[in-house]
Amino acid sequence: MIILDYKDTRPIYEQVVEKFKLLILKGVIQKDEQMPSVRSLAVELSINPNTIQKAYAELERQGYIYTVKGRGNFISDSKNLLDERKEELKNRMVLLYKEGKELGMTKADFIGRLQEMEE
C-alpha cells in the first residue's frame, strides 16, 4: 500500500504519516474504509509495530483516521478532499475580507499584504 524511502532522512513514522495523508486527500482511501492493522502493516513494511502505532496516533490527532478499540483504524470523514480543503481556505478568506470590509478595508489591503510576502 505504501513504500518507504530509506534514503529519506526523516523518521520512518513521519514518512508513514505523510504517505497516508496523501492517499486520503487524493481519495484513494475513503471515508470509513479500514486502515491496515498495526501489526499487518508492521510486517508488510518490516518495521516495528510501535512505529506504526506512533504514525497512526499522529494521523488520528490530525483528524485523518479514527480508532475503534478492538476493531481497527478507519478513515475519518472530517477531512475533505484536497480540492475541497482548498475551497474551504478560500471561503475562510472571503469571511475575513467581509469582516475587514466593515472596518473600511478594501480588497487591495488584503491583496497588497499577500503580494509583499515571498512566494
Partner DNA sequence: GTGGTCTAGACCACA
Residues numbered 73 to 102 that lie near a copy of itself (CB under 8 A) are: 81-87, 89-100
Is residue 57 involved in binding DNA (CB under 7 A)? Answer: yes
Is residue 69 involved in binding a copy of itself (CB under 8 A)? Answer: no
Dihedral pair phi/psi, residue 83, rounded to 5°: -65, -35
Exactly one of 29, 56, 59, 64 binds DNA (CB under 7 A); that residue is 56
Q: What is the DSSP letter of 70?
A: T
What kind and span of H or E run contains 62? none
CB contact at 8 A, 45 and 4: yes
- The nearest distance, CB 33 to DNA, in angstroms, is 13
